[in-house]
Structure 1
């Protein structure tokens, strides 16, 4: 790939922002307030999630600039721990990691657009959005970059507008939903707080996006860390402000257990017109999320397919080096997930599995004694902090949501069985 065919740090950062700011931030609060109703608890959830994402971003920048190959965790885990672990991550990316966020974004789009245009048309447009993004990303890196930049600008303008408008106007609630009492000191030790972090971690999913397309980034040693750290820091600030805006304009009772928290808040503020415009633009900005995951996910599938015979057909690229077959295969899996699971269940078991595999990638970075490229600061202290928090969350998830956890573990076991079969005919590793 020529240098002129690559993207700069701003486009890479835009990809990270687009992948992060999507379904989770506009849907998680309703599930969180079922167990955490103190405002400090809510803020702490998003601060912890942001800190974890920032640690992860620095670690992935180190791994990405060391290996200098697209494929993300598949490359990192295969080359540092064991090919079987890398294969499992690629399997999860193929079946859940990237198709699921696309499916969840489409499902959320239906939830937000349903009051505006009806359920049937919303479902149709959700499907069309996935198909259109698959088409746009099937041509060239430059085309993908242009599409992603436009969608990311729309997303950011919308999010900043929500924060600005929400902060400017006074709440219409009879009593405030803000609670700054000391009850947060009790809530944070309950299982519900740890489970709520799964939603938060899912909302932050995407901070590692640019690391999956290292070969498509100009001067990755300089631009990859800049893109990952800048985008993650920006998103953390936006997320905290958005939750405060939603709490300001909607009651805990209204939000509890609901997906469409943004329209509830702005519906209270502006009535049906508020619901219409917020629903419309949330659906539009979710297209950027679908676009980002459609661009990035197939690169992991392609990296695995180059080395394992079972998936070999998915490694084929067009003349511009785009893994077109992998793109459409991932989109097909997204459609299956859209019509076979509830929103909350899919989000939980996907979040659990991704957290588990992401934790293994953080562990893998500890084996790099002499990283060739960006070096994550305070190593290994930050990695150890990440690991402790992650293990704490997963243990509570297993305890509090055994069904969703079992589904996630079952998918991993299926992947391992397939690996044992596929590894017998393993192809030569790509240089």
Structure 2
């Protein structure tokens, strides 16, 4: 890392400042994956009430916006590459930061990339049917997507930014075409919003499960913090990006759900199969042939999300190696492009292993609980840093402090508590994955004296 300026020395791609639009594209693509195109089907089956479904999507948007505000303050105060790892390290110490980064590698980015790449392959096979009796075609397509995106991001922030802008803008335009075309030209009915399932009387537990599905679809509002060191004027622009882009996604999600419920009554959406809710809605609006358009849209949406994760995730492992809590070899930046190539290859290699073995499914099942735990700790870090470091420059301050971050922490812990009761085995496996990082921390840790040597 022999570079001429401090910015180049301590942040990836210091010579290439990422503009607000590119950063917003990373955030929008990271949030909009496949969840919004599938989740409402499960909600229709379990809740049976269109008004309640729309209400939960609005509640989810409010939760995501509040989270974006909290993360906006942290990102503006600590505008360094690494996101949650940086905030937890500063608030609770290096071990907490390391465990956050370890979880990002194994679950938050690694398993999520693998699962998304496999989903991309399954939808691609609907667009261009290929015989795949043994499943290797799907795995090959997943790996092709992953390593094609990896090659672009290894080439530098300029190439990665251009790709991300293209994927995101195309995806957003396609979603708007689906939504506005469905509402204006489709053969749906507004009377569907008055239809409830005859036995619709969901309990608190059922509503909580549905809310967890919704929250999973909104995850990713914090991704801009992972590349904060590369964003131009992060103290001023990062909160605006997080809050504005999250609000935009919330509006898109609400619009899509209006289309689903306009296309079919909730009783029809609840009929098996419940997963392809977007395809069912499109078929009702324009006929069965529209299914391929939705499958292509899903491919595009998932590719954009994978691209955002391939870009953002490695900044965490690079920052950990730089701080002496991860293998030092990954602290290097490419001399030509200034990007953490080794960290990028590490993440893509791990995701490839998960794709080939299929073990990403187990990680995804219990990953939501672990990520909710770290969300609670990260939002709590805002409160801790306000008390311990009141003089830390804060270009942006979260409104309604401490009520808003406190409410976020409580809601996150409620989700965790409910998951512990309902899914004890998955919860135990999730915590075991996190705790497995503790001995590795002590193996890889480099003392301050060694770092200075």
TM-score with structure 1 length normalisation?
0.91
> Hey, what's the Cα distance between the residues in 2 that align with 1:402 and 1:341?
22
CA displacement, residues 175-212 of structure 1 (integer Å, 9 cap, x when unaligned): 9476469998x53x522222222222221121111111
Q: What are the within-5 Å matches in structure 2 for residues 305-344 of structure 1? A: 305-308=321-324, 310-319=326-335, 320-341=337-358
The corresponding residue for 1:378 is: 400
The alignment status of 1:104 with 2:121, answered yes or no, reads no
Q: CA RMSD in A?
A: 2.7
> Any idea what SS the aligned residue of 1:207 has?
coil
> Hey, what's the Cα distance between the residues in 1 that align with 2:259 and 2:359?
27
The alignment status of 1:354 with 2:368, answered yes or no, reads no
The corresponding residue for 1:413 is: 435
Q: Which runs of 5+ in 2 are unaligned?
A: 1-7
CA displacement, residues 127-179 of structure 1 (integer Å, 9 cap, x when unaligned): 21111110100022222111111111111101111111221245469x94764
Deviation at 1:57, TM superposition (A): 1.1
CA 1:124–1:368 in 2, change beyond 3 Å: closer, same or farther? Answer: same
CA displacement, residues 69-110 of structure 1 (integer Å, 9 cap, x when unaligned): 111111110111121111110000111111222222222223
> Hey, what's the Cα distance between the residues in 2 that align with 1:4 and 1:280?
36
CA contact (8 A) 1:307 1:428 kept: no
Deviation at 1:218, TM superposition (A): 0.8
CA 1:260–1:113 in 2, change beyond 3 Å: closer, same or farther? Answer: farther
The alignment status of 1:281 with 2:297, answered yes or no, reads yes
> Any idea what SS the aligned residue of 1:367 has?
helix
The corresponding residue for 2:4 is: none
CA 1:75–1:4 in 2, change beyond 3 Å: closer, same or farther? Answer: closer
CA 1:339–1:402 in 2, change beyond 3 Å: closer, same or farther? Answer: farther
Q: What are the within-5 Å matches in structure 2 for residues 2-401 of structure 1? A: 5-118=16-129, 120=132, 121-171=137-187, 176=192, 179=195, 187=202, 189-250=203-264, 252=267, 254-255=269-270, 258-308=274-324, 310-319=326-335, 320-341=337-358, 346-369=363-386, 370=390, 371-372=392-393, 373-401=395-423
Deviation at 1:43, TM superposition (A): 1.6
Deviation at 1:63, TM superposition (A): 1.0
Count of aligned residue pairs for this structure pair: 428
CA contact (8 A) 2:325 2:446 kept: no
CA contact (8 A) 2:70 2:398 kept: yes
> Any idea what SS the aligned residue of 1:6 has?
coil
CA contact (8 A) 1:15 1:209 kept: yes
The corresponding residue for 2:5 is: none
CA displacement, residues 357-411 of structure 1 (integer Å, 9 cap, x when unaligned): 1110000000222341211111111101111211221111122222332221121
CA 1:342–1:191 in 2, change beyond 3 Å: closer, same or farther? Answer: farther
CA contact (8 A) 1:107 1:126 kept: yes
CA contact (8 A) 2:239 2:396 kept: yes
**Comparing 308-317 with 201-210, which one deviates more in the overlay?**
308-317
CA 1:165–1:44 in 2, change beyond 3 Å: closer, same or farther? Answer: same
CA contact (8 A) 1:199 1:351 kept: no
**Comparing 225-234 with 347-356, which one deviates more in the overlay?**
347-356
CA 1:312–1:253 in 2, change beyond 3 Å: closer, same or farther? Answer: farther
Greater C-alpha radius of gyration: 2
CA 1:341–1:171 in 2, change beyond 3 Å: closer, same or farther? Answer: farther
Q: Which runs of 5+ in 1 are unaligned?
A: none
**Comparing 140-149 with 105-114, which one deviates more in the overlay?**
105-114
TM-score with structure 2 length normalisation?
0.86
Deviation at 1:308, TM superposition (A): 3.3
CA contact (8 A) 1:102 1:293 kept: yes
The corresponding residue for 2:3 is: none
